[in-house]
Structure 1
């Protein structure tokens, strides 16, 4: 259980940051996916108001990063804000960004892997990986691996409470699909029953290679969000002994620019998925609980939070064997060297 058991879907990020300001003060925090009017910006704003040492903001567009950074300096002039260009759909960009980050801070207390993409049209990363899997998971897997020396250094800082955290922003949409190890790239290969979309999903909302539809946006998105949770499982197994805790969070239903690449029919599906739509501040509350609640340091049996509380997940998102299989695939797809290069 988190520190405040009655926090829920209406809790604001500002409230969470205020409660845990002692955990924020003096920390180095990196946030991916930061642009104006985004969850990344709202996360950064809530943290900045409580005197972190450094905020490292990473995203694709420098002008947008600068706009957010300039805004932060207006109300938090003492916070060091660093802007790093990062395109998670290009492993060369990820490697370049990791080098820049390592030259900017000597340790990281909190890494918030917030960036994501969703698209109705099948696209690929620079390496030829399906875009949602390649950006939402593979890009963050590589970035996290490259930054692990900085995160371990954060865990070794002589401060209490120890706050070395990795937060992977996932989605309740993970339920839509397990990892399709036999066809993660959506090229029409046959997949076994355990890798198929959930049975309760209507047939027209699933890939159907036989009818010429090997790709479906929400199956691909679901796979990438399952990957975020399994990545979290693996991080805890591999680095828990270093004093690092990782959590995956579902921020809730929030209208953001994330849906800009959805076709009208797919956008209508999204519109019908929730009875409560959070504002931006409410949408970052769970992320901030995962990042800064000191009570979570002792949690080892669950990795997923929703509406500011720990929750269980379905089997395909917590099986240690699947997590290890995904880790090995991710290492293969990123060359697996784990070095700044």
Structure 2
């Protein structure tokens, strides 16, 4: 293990959390995991599937991606009820269609893990005209959450319910610059801004969104989680471009090491299933289940409020 691993990519399993041992029975629970076809998302589905869930929606962009993932998951949990949910987070129309499917097929929704994301992509726009990383990582998840909230609220009002939302963020949010969220540029490709900074902006938005959800919907336990630097395909685009960000990440990985996906999924699994009274609503957690203050911007209540209002206004203007 690299000498700097414990400092640069720490794993402090504060609660000695073991998914097989500590995830409770999930009978009747309806669960959604975005990006469930690879990396930490697939591992999250796999671990939850072992504990008798009512239904897990594995959200992915295509049936082929789902089919590839389900082979491994079904081996670990052959009897689990896992359903394909077609979802392209860069398209609000796709998000709406996915949410409508979940709502039409279920009377409840217990757990939403907003896991999917893209990292340091070249400049671009989503189908709806938002900067690509912000539009995918934040706007897509914000709409999915918004459309599922009424069902989640109804579920939360039932006896013995335990309704949760987990936004998967990143310690990369600390690399934001300037205002943190560049509201005046969110409908541009932001070509003149480093893709790593744009990624950081989207990950900051994930934390701020979780904090605001916790504030506005206290009956739902909402947290954000940093998985650590994980050996997955998230950084592949950045490596392919081979710019400064990719070269920096390779050096970082050589010094810090990378978590396995099993280690990387621990924090979001912990936030999703650990004893409710020991998980703090609105908090940001790092591996594995350790509360962290995050950056100053991530604790800015006014910025969180501004982002919420901006997002709600945008979604409403587009008919959602």
Q: TM-score, normalization: structure 1?
A: 0.82
Task: Specify the alignment match of 1:203 in structure 2.
Answer: none
1:183-202 to 2 correspondence within 5 Å?
183-186=185-188
Structure 2: gaps spanning 5 or more residues? 1-9
CA deviations on 1:50-108 (whole Å, 9 max, x unpaired) are: 21111111111111112323433333233211111000000010111111111232211
Q: Which residue of structure 1 aligns with residue 172 of structure 2?
A: 173
Q: Does 1:74 align with 2:75?
A: yes
- 2:221 maps to which of 242, 245, 257: 245
Alpha-carbon separation, structure 1, partners of 2:122 and 2:189:
13
Residue from 199, 203, 212 that aligns with 1:221: 199
> What SS class does the counterpart of residue 182 from structure 1 fall into?
helix
Which residue in 1 is equivalent to 2:111?
Answer: 110
Shift of the 270–186 alpha-carbon distance from structure 1 to 2, 3 Å rule, reads: farther
What pairs up with 1:256-271 in 2 under 5 angstroms? 256-262=232-238, 263-265=241-243, 266-271=245-250
Task: Give the 3 Å change call, closer, same or farther, for CA 336–236 of structure 1 in structure 2.
Answer: farther
Q: Distance in 1 between matches of 2:12 and 2:283?
A: 21
Aligned pair count reads: 302
3-state DSSP class of the match of 1:286? helix
Give the equivalent residue in structure 2 for 1:255. 231
CA distance in 1, matches of 2:263, 2:88: 27
- Aligned pair 1:326/2:307, yes or no? yes
SS in 1 for 2:225: strand
Aligned equivalent of 1:200: none
Displacement of 1:281 in angstroms is 0.2
Residue of 250, 275, 286 corresponding to 1:294: 275
Task: Check whether the contact 2:209–2:304 (CA below 8 A) recurs between aligned residues.
Answer: yes
Partner of 1:31: 33
Do the aligned partners of 1:245 and 1:297 also contact (CA within 8 Å) in 2? no
Superposed CA offset, 1:167-219 (max 9, x none): 0000000011111123234566xxxxxxxxxxxxxxxxxxxxxxxx6221011
| 8 A Cα contact 1:186 1:215, kept in partner | no
How far did residue 49 of structure 1 move?
Answer: 1.2
The equivalent of 1:64 in structure 2 is 65
TM-aligned CA deviation for residue 25 of structure 1: 4.3
Q: Give per-residue Cα distances to partners, 1:202-244, cap 9 Å, x unaligned.
A: xxxxxxxxxxx6221011000000000000011001100xx20
Normalised to the residue count of structure 2, the TM-score between the two structures is 0.87
The answer as to 2:142 corresponding to 1:163 is no
Deviations 1:146-171 (A, max 9, x none): 01122113313333xx4211000000
Report what 1:281 is aligned to: 262
2:213 to 218, 228, 235: 235
